[in-house]
Amino acid sequence: MRVNAFPVIRYAVLILAAVLVAIPFVTTLLGGFKSLGELRVNPLGLPQVWELKNYASILGGPRLWQYLINSLVIAGLTVALTLVVSSMAAFAFAQIKFFGSGWLLNYLLLGLLFPVATGILPLFIKLRDLGLLDTYWGVVLPQVAFGLGFAILLMRQAFLALPGELWESAQVDGCSYLRFFLQVTLPLSLPILSTVGVITLINSWNNYLLPLVVINSDANYPWPLGIMQYRGEYGTEWSLILAFVTLTIVPAVLLYVFAQKYIIAGLTGGAVKG
């Protein structure tokens, strides 16, 4: 009878776990609809009076939008540059035989071993000397540099899986490496480009430490810095802060809904093959 009991037990365990995991989200979403007074006595339940002014004041003001635009520009530049630079490198490693290939690849993969934090102070000095402090590029370029190892690793794996006959027949036709890369490799690799793009986007969108060190004016803050600033200013006006948090979560949830396949491929890629 164990077999028949399993579905019931499974649903029971999953529903319990889902409720526990979801409580923080639900209270945050609902908290934004409560007045401060109600929040204090009723943090968990549905609002007695649905207050729209928290959400309305944030959506109506310029700050949230400014932060989101900053994040979007930084993430957009990071994704574009990462895709260009790493697909070129991955192409060379996967499809061109050359002296020192293994060494150079291992060198670029070193970045996978340690976090940005280790060299952040010298990086800060370098960005200052280059005049990149408090600019989008000051965040974008280091993000690209640190993301290269992961991007090259995944792309090279995918490029290696392309059939070798493609290149052989292209060579017979006198096709150059550059043309082959642009007209054969890239068009055949859209899934891996999307996967790397989506993961790079999430990393950039959520990044906190690097912008914290590089960016220092409110007008240039990406949203994780903005939201901390907001929380600093509004102290314990939790209903306002919860509304703000909810609005910044929306893009992440939408991204998951639409790009789920690529997110999961990126996180498990190579993980299972070992």
Instruction: Report 64-93 residues binding other proteins (CB under 8 A).
Output: 84-86, 88-89, 91-93
Q: Determine if 137 is a binding residue for other proteins (CB under 8 A).
A: no
Candidate list 64, 242, 243, 262; residue touching other proteins; CB under 8 A: 242
Query: Of residues 92-131, which lie at the interface with other proteins (CB under 8 A)?
Result: 92-93, 96-99, 101, 104, 107-108, 110-111, 113-115, 117-126
Which residue from 262, 274, 224 is spatially nearest to 83, judged by alpha carbons?
262
Determine, following the binding rule CB under 8 A, whether residue 178 of this chain makes contact with other proteins.
yes
Asked if 30 interacts with other proteins (CB under 8 A), we say no
Helices (H), the chain: 2-31, 36-41, 53-60, 63-95, 101-109, 120-129, 136-160, 165-172, 177-180, 186-188, 190-206, 209-214, 223-234, 238-268
Q: Does residue 231 belong to the site contacting other proteins (CB under 8 A)?
A: yes
Distance CA 104, CA 81 (A): 20
253 binds other proteins (CB under 8 A): yes
Q: Which of 73, 76, 166, 177 binds other proteins (CB under 8 A)?
A: 177
Q: How far is the CB of 243 from other proteins (least distance, A)?
A: 12
To other proteins, the closest distance from the beta carbon of 165 in angstroms equals: 18
Looking at beta carbons only, is 52 or 264 nearer to other proteins? 264
Point out which span in 46-54, 57-65, 147-155, 184-192 binds other proteins (CB under 8 A). Answer: 147-155
Nearest to 65 by CA among 217, 209, 258, 248: 248
CA distance 44 to 28: 9
Stretch that binds other proteins, among 57-65, 165-173, 189-197, 222-230 (CB under 8 A): 222-230
What is d(CA 196, CA 83) in angstroms, rounded to the nearest whole number?
A: 8
Based on the shown chain and the rule CB under 8 A, indicate whether residue 10 belongs to the binding site for other proteins: yes
Q: Is 39 in the site for other proteins (CB under 8 A)?
A: yes
CB 215, CB 138: distance < 8 Å: yes
Contacts of residue 243, defined as CB under 8 A and 6 or more positions apart, other chains included, come to: 31, 32, 33, 54, 55, 58
Cβ proximity to other proteins, 52 vs 96, nearer residue: 96
Rounded Cα distance, 224 and 75, in Å: 13
